[in-house]
Structure 1
Amino acid sequence: MPNYNPGLHKLLTLQVAANELLTSTQKFIDFAKQTIQNFNLEIVGISHHTFDQGGYTVAICLKESHICIHTWPEFKQLTLDIYLCNYLNDNSQKVEDLGAVFKDFFKAEVLNETNVRR
């Protein structure tokens, strides 16, 4: 039986100058949906919550795994979790590319970046 390497799991903590992007749940969801479509990934569900202070949590379940975000506008930060797994293809480059697209969207500075090879 061949070895199985499920994929790359990227965890990011980002500093963001524009608070509007940390408080606009729908703007993030709309951008994420378009981005996911551009990467030929398949959404199977989205769950979200906007907090009283304006931050939000969004979990996007993908056929290939997930993208999750948690924002803290009071600290101008967010955490982003991107994981794509596929038993037929190595999606590691897609994870790297998705991370770059989301960093650009938020015009963010990386505070912490961890890559976990599953």
Structure 2
Amino acid sequence: MEKQSNLLGLHQLLTLEVSNSNKLIDLLGFVSFTDNLLVENQLEKVGNTSFVFENGSFTIAYCLKESHICIHTWPEINTLTMDVYLCNYSQDNSNRVRSIAKDFIAYFEANIVKQIEVER
């Protein structure tokens, strides 16, 4: 099989600064927002796992049929890191990755510290 240049998909890596750290300790709010975002984007959740630290910060990984979404929050420095990766096996999901990243930036009302886009 000949390798297609975009078959493996697009991966966005984000470091965001948030002025209101309350969302950085609100795992349930994040899960609700993300679950709705997955439905809106017709993405299939295989599962997710999370951990809440003593200070309320959290880490969560969503395993998707199409790949994954992961986040780690640091309320003590008003920062989060996140990655959004979707493969392009059944269709080109590149614009979907970009749209989802924008939706998370808006959800957190965040400023972009670093945003890296990797074509896999």
Same fold (TM over 0.5): yes
AA partner of residue 74 (structure 2) = W
Question: Size of the alignment, in residue pairs?
Answer: 118
Query: TM-score, normalization: structure 1?
Result: 0.97
Q: 2:101 aligns with which of 96, 99, 102?
A: 99
- Deviation by residue 1:58-90 (Cα, 9 ceiling, x = unmatched): 100000000000000000000010000031211
AA partner of residue 92 (structure 2) = D
Name the SS of the counterpart of 1:66 in structure 2. Answer: strand
In the other structure, the counterpart of 2:2 is 2
Once the two structures are superposed, the pairs formed by residues 1-118 of structure 1 within 5 Å of their partners are: 1-4=1-4, 5=6, 6-118=8-120
Identity fraction in percent: 44
CA distance in 2, matches of 1:112, 1:78: 11
Where does structure 1 lack aligned partners over 5 or more consecutive residues? none
Runs of 4+ in 1 over 4 A off after TM superposition: none
Q: Do the aligned residues in 1 keep the contact of 2:10 with 2:93 (CA within 8 Å)? A: yes
